[in-house]
Amino acid sequence: MATTTLTKVHNFSAGPGILPAEVLQKSAEACINFDNLNLSLLEISHRSKNYEKVMEEARATVKELFEVGNDYEVMYLGGGASLQFAMIPYNLMREGGSAAYVNTGVWASKAIKEAKIIGNTNVIASSEDKKFTYIPKGYVIPKDADYLHITSNNTIYGTQMKSFPKCDIPLVCDMSSDIFSRKVNAKDFSLIYAGAQKNMGPAGSTMVMVKKDVLGKTGRKMLSMLDYQVHIKGESMYNTPPVFPIYVTLLTMQWLKKNGGIAWIEKVNQQKADAIYNEIDRNSLFYGTVEKEDRSNMNVCFLLKKPELEPEFDKLWKSAEISGIRGHRDVGGYRASLYNALPLESVNVLVDVMKEFEKKFA
């Protein structure tokens, strides 16, 4: 298949987000002729040896990138991270037990809502009092809870946990928007999950990595499709999996490995974040929306000091072929998402636009 040349657009979309160009090319080729079968990936059986190899490697690569052993299992499931808001308490909260949650934004709030339906759910810390513009710290973790749930990065508000709580109970983390963007000690977590569409792959698949020893302790009779142990036994193919999204996710992880892995991308992501935050702090027309110590390296939220100038700024960034920087409706302003596949070049284009805007309107 010939390589398609696309007009360069600087894609800051918050999700579904940017994917590496070579991943898009390879996945497009697989839609026509997968694995030299002269068949499309979209039309072969998920039970074929060719696809079983994809699933096996996709599960193994997560463990490789997270540097964990066989005491962890990896699943690819449908339903987005939103289904995990229910599956996590269903699989980890004992009947008559409890769970602890830290509320750092919309998605954490949604997780709390679902957990409350399953059982006793305690919000032990929250940043809602200041519109989720900071990460709570110094809270007490109950030792009798079945698990503690946190959200590592808050896409809408632009906050990120720079360190994680140490606790004696299982630690569960929603890493949907910053998974594989920086080094973490995955062995500190009993469960990590992520909707793939922000930093790992396309929409349609959710990755769950769980430590096996936390499962099977709820005391409840489990519905098969909501039971992690059923999906583990079925090697993520108890039912027909989201075949194409998982394949593209594997290609994205292979791209990451080929270029130097998480250590490499962490440095690149820090360069991107430094470039735009330095400009926000320097520029007389912009300001950030969250506490500096809690600023996300993935989702940079900022506002204009003179909101009436938004139409003029919009003209400038659109003329520079920038896409996807409108802020979420709950925050307003602008949000530049710096996911792994976004090149530093794109950030520099946005910074140049911000400088030009200041020269014209300051």
Catalytic residues: 107, 174, 198
Tell me the residue length of the chain: 362
- Which of 216, 218, 224, 230 lies closest to 119 in space, CA to CA? 218
Q: Which residues lie closer than 8 Å to 29 by C-beta, 6 or more apart?
A: 1
Contact between residue 226 and residue 87 where contact means Cβ atoms under 8 Å apart: yes
From CA 9, how far away is CA 320, in angstroms rounded? 8
CA distances from 28 to 4, 46, 255, 336 (A): 10, 18, 15, 27
From CA 228, how far away is CA 224, in angstroms rounded? 8
Q: Which residues lie closer than 8 Å to 216 by C-beta, 6 or more apart?
A: 229
CA distances from 218 to 11, 149, 361 (A): 43, 17, 61
Sign of CA dihedral 157, 117, 99, 80: negative
Sign of CA dihedral 194, 199, 204, 209: negative
Contact between residue 174 and residue 293 where contact means Cβ atoms under 8 Å apart: no
Place of tokens 């995955």: 186
Q: Give the pairing type, strands 153-154 and 159-160.
A: antiparallel
CB atoms within 10 A of CB 233: 10
